């Protein structure tokens, strides 16, 4: 039995009720076997054992008062996973499915993703089992304020810098930042994804979706000699990542024909009307089924995962973890899909990943393909430190450069270890190396 499979067994035993965390560790460690063989010094320094244990996990009570004057209590989390290469950095997720295992899987992925960006950011993640759906504006504000009341003790511009994720967008960031500022008298920009009027960066809103398309355009060009032009694209989700992936895929000449939310998906053969989606989702916070009331030639189908039955050339899962299973993967391949790019974190189940890796398709893992969001958060931190703001064009240009570099480093690492075009192995190895070298340099403190 190899050294790393022993560690996976220990992780399984110690975190038995955290299946998503175990899944994320397994996927990374399988890729790292070759690194462990090549660099025995990492094993000697206990890097593998240390990297699966968060530096710190904070769990806290979030009490708040609803519109009926009733006290509600939610659970808050912040997992400060690894600070070897910079301050903990990663989003906050508000969704009823949130628990410690979900936050740990996201925090673990974030370590390698942030390393891939080339910027000095460690890995962290947080959130709450609070469900923003159906809450009034004042309930959202009171919840965000109570959440930040506790979180503010644990974060800082040089220590831990949160951002958005599922259920946390510009509205929630605004309320949390306002509370942090009031409590701490501090204006150093402790959260990213801030509004443009108080220290936010241009392009941060668009960054994850745009970055995903920049990465995919590069991978498709390099591996298949093709581009987005004239390709049929399907995208799951209709939140922040999905909307701006749709925008960029369209700008690059693709035709996006399907989007979804957690209830179902829409199919519009002539191409999605993105202005309408933005209005329904960003402004009115409505369900995607409303789309067909305006466009009678579009079709709405109940059941979000049925979207994978739609014939396409490129599929971009941009909703949530484990939304694309083995059966869906086989259907996509059978229908001629040749490139899959993960905009979400771990949207593809391990069995589905095996289907893609065993076929002649491009499979781009989230930690590389969706790193544009956190990379632009890094650029927001830079601008905050400089007390300066760059133009849209300048940030977009930097984002594009970063995504092309991530593709190139991922592809190079895969090749170096004899796994040409295996972007899963390449991303895991390239992301790990920098963190491991930093941890080794620092001695046994991390």
- Among residues 114, 208, 232, 348, which is the contact residue for ligand NDP, using CB under 6 A? 208
Nearer to ligand 2IT, 122 or 254 (CB): 122
Q: Which of residues 360-419 bind ligand 2IT (CB under 6 A)?
A: 373-374, 377
SS3 94: strand
Residue 90 binds: one of ligand 2IT, ligand NDP, none (C-beta under 5 to 8 A by kind): ligand 2IT
Query: Token match 């989003």: residue?
Result: 91
125 catalytic per annotation: yes
DSSP 118: T
Determine which one of 89, 104, 113, 125 is catalytic: 125
- List the strands of the sheet with 299-302, edge to edge: 299-302, 264-267, 255-260, 232-236, 314-317, 339-341, 362-364
CB count in 10 Å sphere of residue 294: 11
Break the chain down into helix, strand, coil percent, rounded to 5: 50, 15, 30
Closest approach, Cβ 56 to ligand NDP, in A, equals: 21
Number of residues that bind ligand NDP (CB under 6 A): 25
Positive or negative torsion for Cα 346, 348, 351, 352: negative
Contact 117, 151 (CB under 8 A): no
Write the DSSP assignment of 125-183 as a string of letters: EEEES---TT--HHHHHHHHHHHHHHHTTT-BTTTEEEE-BTTB-HHHHHHHHHHHHHH
Contact between 348 and ligand NDP by CB under 6 A: the answer reads no
- Among residues 140, 163, 220, 266, which is the contact residue for ligand 2IT, using CB under 6 A? 163
Q: Which part of the chain contacts ligand NDP (CB under 6 A), choosing from 18-26, 179-187, 316-324, 433-441?
A: 316-324
Closest approach, Cβ 106 to ligand NDP, in A, equals: 6
- The Cα 224–Cα 220 span in angstroms is 5
Contact between 91 and ligand 2IT by CB under 6 A: the answer reads yes
Positive or negative torsion for Cα 370, 373, 379, 385: negative
Residue 262 binds: one of ligand 2IT, ligand NDP, none (C-beta under 5 to 8 A by kind): ligand NDP
- Among residues 164, 341, 378, 426, which is the contact residue for ligand NDP, using CB under 6 A? 164
Nearer to ligand 2IT, 7 or 423 (CB): 423
In the stretch 172-191, what mask flags binding to ligand 2IT with x, by CB under 6 A? --------------------
- The Cα 205–Cα 201 span in angstroms is 8
Residue 192 binds: one of ligand 2IT, ligand NDP, none (C-beta under 5 to 8 A by kind): ligand 2IT
Number of residues that bind ligand 2IT (CB under 6 A): 11
Contact between 90 and ligand 2IT by CB under 6 A: the answer reads yes
Look at residues 257, 252, 244, 256 and name the one whose alpha carbon lies nearest to residue 227. Answer: 252
Rg (CA), the chain: 21
Nearer to ligand NDP, 318 or 413 (CB): 318
Q: How many helices and strands, by DSSP H and E, does the chain display? A: 17, 12
Contact between 345 and ligand NDP by CB under 6 A: the answer reads yes
Catalog residues that contact ligand 2IT under the rule CB under 6 A: 89-91, 113, 163, 165, 192, 345, 373-374, 377
Catalog residues that contact ligand NDP under the rule CB under 6 A: 164-167, 169, 208, 237-242, 261-263, 304, 318-320, 323, 343-345, 370, 373
Would you name the residues annotated as active-site residues? Answer: 125
């Amino acid at each position: 039995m190899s050294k790393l499979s022993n560690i996976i067994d220990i992780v399984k035993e110690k975190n038995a009720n955290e299946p998503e965390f175990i899944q994320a560790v397994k996927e990374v460690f399988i890729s790292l076997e070759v690194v462990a063989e090549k660099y025995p010094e990492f094993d000697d320094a206990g890097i593998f054992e240390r990297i699966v244990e968060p530096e710190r996990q904070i769990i806290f009570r979030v009490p708040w008062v609803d519109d009926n004057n009733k006290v509600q209590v939610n659970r808050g989390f912040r997992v400060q996973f690894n600070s070897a290469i910079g301050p903990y950095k990663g989003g906050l997720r508000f969704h009823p499915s949130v628990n410690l295992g979900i936050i740990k899987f996201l925090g673990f992925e974030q370590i390698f993703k942030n390393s891939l960006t080339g910027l000095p950011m460690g890995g962290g993640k947080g959130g709450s089992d609070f469900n923003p759906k159906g809450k009034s504006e004042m309930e959202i504000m009171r919840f965000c304020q109570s959440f930040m009341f506790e979180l503010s003790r644990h974060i800082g511009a040089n220590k831990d810098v949160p951002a958005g994720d599922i259920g946390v967008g510009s509205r929630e960031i605004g309320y949390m930042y306002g509370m942090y500022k009031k409590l701490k008298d501090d204006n150093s920009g402790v959260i990213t994804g801030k509004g443009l009027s108080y220290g936010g960066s241009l392009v941060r809103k668009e960054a994850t979706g745009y970055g995903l398309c920049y990465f995919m355009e590069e991978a498709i060009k390099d591996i298949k000699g093709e581009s987005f032009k004239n390709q049929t694209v399907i995208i799951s989700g209709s939140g922040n990542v999905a909307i701006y992936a749709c925008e960029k895929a369209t700008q690059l000449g693709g035709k996006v024909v399907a989007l979804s939310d957690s209830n179902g998906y829409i199919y519009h053969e002539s191409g999605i009307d993105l202005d309408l989606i933005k209005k329904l989702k960003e402004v009115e916070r409505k369900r995607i089924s409303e789309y067909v009331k305006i466009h009678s030639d579009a079709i709405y189908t109940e059941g979000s995962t049925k979207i994978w039955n739609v014939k396409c050339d490129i599929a971009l899962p941009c909703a949530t973890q484990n939304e694309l299973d083995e059966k869906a993967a086989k259907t996509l391949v059978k229908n001629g899909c040749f490139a899959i790019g993960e905009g979400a974190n771990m949207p593809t189940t391990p069995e589905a990943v095996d289907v893609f890796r065993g076929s002649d398709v491009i499979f781009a893992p989230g930690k590389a393909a969706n790193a544009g969001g956190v990379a632009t958060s890094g650029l927001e931190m830079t601008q905050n430190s400089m007390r300066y703001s760059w133009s849209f064009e300048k940030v977009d240009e930097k984002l594009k450069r970063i995504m092309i570099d991530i593709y190139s480093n991922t592809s190079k690492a895969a090749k170096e270890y004899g796994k040409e075009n295996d972007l899963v192995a390449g991303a895991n190895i390239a992301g790990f190396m920098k963190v491991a070298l930093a941890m080794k340099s620092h001695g046994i403190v991390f």
